[in-house]
Structure formats: C-alpha cells, structure tokens
C-alpha cells in the first residue's frame, strides 16, 4: 500500500533535545502537563532510559505516533534568521521548497539547470531527518519565460526534459513530487491560461511517466487548490482526471489538496473527509500540501480570530487523521510574516488582511492554532 510507509517516518532526532528553543521547551512542558505524562523514576538503569517514551512536545513527534508527516514549506532566504532552521527542524518531519524547485528557478534558460538552492533545502532536510516533497515540475505559474514562447512538440519535449532532469538530479533524495500542479480550471476542465493545456490532456500522463522513469521509487502526486470539498465542478473534474490516470495505468500515487483555507467560504470538515475518502478509494494516498488559514476577514478581536483559526485547524487535521490514506499535512510557511499571504499581492486573494495564516507568530512563538493542530494529533 502506498499510504502505509512507516519506514519514511522518523522520530524527532535526539540531538535536537539539547537545542530546543525556549519556544519549543515551553510547548514541551505544557504538553507534558496537559498529558500528565508519567514521570521517569529516579535512579533508573540504562535500560529504563532506552524504554522512555518519546518526547511528544513537538508536532513531528506527535505526527510520528500517528504514522503521518507534518511538513513546512521553507525558503533558503530565511535561513539566516535566528530560530528559523531550529524551529523548522524541531517541529516538522517533512519539508517542501516553497519556490526553489519551480521551473523558473531550476531551469531559467533552456537546458541550463540551477539546482543549488534546491540542493541546500534537500541537504537541510537530510541533516534533520525530514522527508522532502518536491514542488513542482509542471505548472503554469513561475515557469521560465522562454517556456511560454514554445508550443506543440517543442513545448512537449521541453516539459519532458525538465521533468527528467529535475527528478534525476534528486533521485533517491526526494520522496514525493508534485508532478503537475493546478492543471484544472474552476469549471473542472483543463485550465485555459496554461500553455500546457494546448498539448491536450495527454501531457499530464506524459509528465507522470517521465517522472517515474527518472526515479521509479518516488511517489508522484497531482496537486491542486479549491478541490477540498466533496462536490463542485473543480473537485469533480480533478476526481475524473486522476481516476482516468489511475485506471489507465499512469504512475500516479497520490493527490495533494493545497488547503489554503478561506474561512469566508470553505467546505465543512465532513465534506473534506468524504472527499479525501473518495480519492483514497481510487487506490491513491492523499495529503494536505499547502495549508494556511487566513483570518483577516473573520469577525471579532484578534483573540477571537485566533480561537476560530485554532478550531478550523483542529477540525481539518482531525478529518485528515480519520482517513488512513491521508498521510501528511504541510503548512505553507513557518511564521506569519513569512507567509505568501502577508504579501499584499497574494493576501488580496483572501480579502482584507493582515491574515496571520500560520502556526507561529513573528517571534516564532506558537499560536493557538499550533495547539489546535497538536490536539488533533493527540486525538483530543
Ligand atoms: C507561492 C509562494 O508561496 C510565493 O512565495 C510565490 O511568490 C508564489 O507562489 N499554490 C502553490 C504554491 O502551489 O507554489 C504557491 O506558492 C501558492 C499557491
């Protein structure tokens, strides 16, 4: 089964215990108090030390107990910020490069590849026993401008070359690829504003086949947004697409639901669960790949907004955990100011900001939404 891969889940590495920030220490302590964890007897022997329960103060430790991944999107340009690397490694067991594996970064000129920033993220993940989700091979956005001038056979072969070179470069080091991202429009058909659509629907199957040939052990995913609910033209269109791919033997293994939550209009947790289940019934694993919850348009005081944000996160993470095939949840950034929705251009998509959409505040302090996620992982 694709979705039972306990071998890829790693417990929080011991060496981080010594490097826990005050932040995660506080989280650990409060978690211990809440769970009234057994206190280790004094004068224990070395064997009782080995049998000690894992420290469940981090999200990654909690997720590991559920055999799931909990991930974060990272960018190397934040690496010099104090606490960034430390908190990411302490809390998450999966990493998605937020931008640095997109076409415009990896192949800015035809055949000229630039893997350095992606390599740095992969090395960081390896150092900290984090899985890597490669993001993304074929997408109409952040594609190099030279690609937009191609069509027909030239575009098709540029796509195959790009997929092959990227996947081969990171072969064995990237567990899971978003092979095709956001190919579907709101009406459920292939989107109008993608240069790839003119190649016909076969381009999607071809991209998956090329990725599989380049690394037969990588998990291959179709990823999209606003397909989280179990009805609607776009969700149904995605269902038809991946069903067709799966039934015709195309090497697709999973479906990614971005989960950029717009609380003004979002499916219920039940609808999300039913949707995850219908995709899982096709024999695919499912993941929530880019979660954030924008609170700018929620009514009330900041405190009320954060309480609602916590509830929403708790409901959605719990819905995922009720579905055995839902193997991971990734948050789209680490701290609020680093979120794409804190950029005015993107933030507008979610109405009036500020949106404070992530788990940590500007000072790397966990917000109420962090507790909502931790509680869901603890089954509370
Ligand atoms: C976003 C990044 O977070 C931004 O930094 C960038 O400017 C634009 O792209 N869906 C996706 C992601 O699949 O790649 C997008 O990431 C957010 C929406």
258 lines ligand 1 (CB under 6 A): yes
Region 275-301: mean pLDDT is 98
Give 149's contacts (C-beta < 8 A, 6+ positions apart).
none
Instruction: Kindly state whether residue 268 falls inside one of the protein's structural domains.
Output: yes
Q: How far is the CA of 305 from the centre of ligand 1 (A)?
A: 24
Ligand 1 atom at minimal distance to the Cα of residue 289: 13
Instruction: Kindly state whether residue 31 falls inside one of the protein's structural domains.
Output: no
Q: Model pTM?
A: 0.88
Q: What confidence tens digit (pLDDT) does each residue in 231-242 have?
A: 999 999 999 999
Whole-angstrom CA distances from 352 to 355, 356, 362 are 8, 11, 19
Instruction: Kindly state whether residue 58 falls inside one of the protein's structural domains.
Output: yes
Give 183's contacts (C-beta < 8 A, 6+ positions apart).
138, 190, 191, 194, 196, 197, 204, 222, 224, 241
Instruction: Kindly state whether residue 45 falls inside one of the protein's structural domains.
Output: no
- Three-state secondary structure string covering 85-141: HHHHHHHCCEEEECCCCCHHHHCCECCECCCHHHHHHHHHHHHCCCEEEEEEEECCC
In this model, does residue 259 exceed pLDDT 90?
A: yes
Give 369's contacts (C-beta < 8 A, 6+ positions apart).
293, 306, 309, 310, 313, 358, 359
CB 178 within 8 A of CB 170: no
Transcribe 44-60 into DSSP letters.
--HHHHHTSPP-TTSHH
Reported as a pLDDT band with limits 50, 70 and 90, residue 55 is low
21 lines ligand 1 (CB under 6 A): no
In this model, does residue 10 exceed pLDDT 80?
A: no
Coil, strand or helix: which one is 2? coil
Instruction: Kindly state whether residue 371 falls inside one of the protein's structural domains.
Output: yes
340 lines ligand 1 (CB under 6 A): yes
Ligand 1 atom at minimal distance to the Cα of residue 332: 3
In this model, does residue 194 exceed pLDDT 70?
A: yes
In this model, does residue 30 exceed pLDDT 50?
A: no
Q: How far is the CA of 312 from the centre of ligand 1 (A)?
A: 22
Q: How far is the CA of 56 from the centre of ligand 1 (A)?
A: 31
Total of domains in the chain: 1
Q: How far is the CA of 98 from the centre of ligand 1 (A)?
A: 7
Give 253's contacts (C-beta < 8 A, 6+ positions apart).
2, 219, 220, 221, 284, 285
The pLDDT score that the predictor gives to residue 57 is 83
CATH number at residue 267: 3.20.20.80
The pLDDT score that the predictor gives to residue 180 is 99
Give 54's contacts (C-beta < 8 A, 6+ positions apart).
11, 12, 61, 64, 65
Which residues carry out catalysis? 182, 290
Instruction: Kindly state whether residue 8 falls inside one of the protein's structural domains.
Output: no
In this model, does residue 17 exceed pLDDT 60?
A: no
Instruction: Kindly state whether residue 40 falls inside one of the protein's structural domains.
Output: no
User: Among residues of the chain, what percentage have pLDDT more than 90?
Assistant: 85
178 lines ligand 1 (CB under 6 A): no
Q: What confidence tens digit (pLDDT) does each residue in 292-310 have?
A: 999 999 999 999 999 999 9
In this model, does residue 89 exceed pLDDT 60?
A: yes
99 lines ligand 1 (CB under 6 A): yes
Region 181-198: mean pLDDT is 98
Which residues span the domain enclosing 223?
13-23+53-377
In this model, does residue 178 exceed pLDDT 60?
A: yes
Higher pLDDT, 17 or 213: 213
Region 336-359: mean pLDDT is 98
Instruction: Kindly state whether residue 209 falls inside one of the protein's structural domains.
Output: yes
Transcribe 188-231 into DSSP letters.
SSBPTT-GGGGG-THHHHHHHHHHHHH-TTSEEEEEESS--SS-
């Amino acid at each position: 089964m694709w979705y039972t891969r306990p071998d890829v889940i790693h417990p929080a590495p011991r060496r981080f215990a010594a490097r826990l920030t005050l932040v995660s220490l506080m989280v650990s302590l409060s978690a211990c108090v809440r769970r009234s964890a057994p206190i280790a007897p004094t004068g224990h022997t070395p064997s009782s030390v080995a049998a000690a329960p894992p420290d469940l103060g981090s999200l990654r430790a909690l997720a590991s107990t559920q055999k799931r991944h909990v991930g974060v999107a990272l960018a190397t340009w934040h690496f010099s910020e104090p606490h960034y690397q430390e908190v990411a490694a302490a809390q998450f067991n999966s990493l998605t490069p937020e931008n640095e594996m997109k076409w415009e970064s990896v192949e800015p000129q035809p055949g000229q590849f630039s893997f350095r920033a992606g390599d740095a993220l992969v090395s960081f993940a390896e150092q900290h026993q984090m899985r890597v989700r490669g993001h993304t091979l074929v997408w109409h956005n952040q594609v190099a401008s030279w690609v937009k001038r191609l069509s027909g056979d030239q575009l098709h072969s540029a796509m195959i070359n790009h997929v092959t070179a990227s996947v081969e470069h990171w072969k064995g080091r990237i567990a899971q690829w978003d092979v095709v991202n956001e190919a579907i429009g709101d009406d459920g058909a292939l989107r109008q504003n993608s240069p790839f659509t003119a190649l016909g629907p076969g381009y999607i199957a071809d991209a998956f086949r090329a990725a599989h040939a380049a690394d037969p052990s990588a998990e291959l995913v179709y990823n999209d947004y606003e397909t989280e609910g179990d009805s609607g033209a776009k969700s149904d269109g995605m269902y038809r697409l991946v069903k067709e791919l799966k039934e015709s033997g195309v090497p697709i293994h999973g479906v990614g639901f971005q989960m950029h939550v717009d609380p003004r209009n979002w499916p219920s947790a039940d609808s999300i669960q039913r949707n995850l289940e219908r995709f899982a019934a096709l024999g695919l694993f499912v993941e929530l790949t880019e979660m954030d919850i924008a609170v700018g348009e929620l009514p009330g005081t900041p405190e009320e907004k954060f309480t609602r944000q916590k509830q929403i996160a708790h409901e959605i993470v719990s819905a995922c955990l009720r579905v055995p095939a839902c193997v991971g949840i990734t948050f789209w950034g680490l701290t609020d100011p680093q979120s794409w929705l804190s950029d005015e251009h993107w933030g507008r998509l979610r109405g009036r900001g500020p949106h404070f959409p992530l788990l940590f505040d500007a000072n790397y302090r966990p917000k109420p939404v962090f507790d909502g996620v931790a509680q869901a992982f603890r089954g509370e």
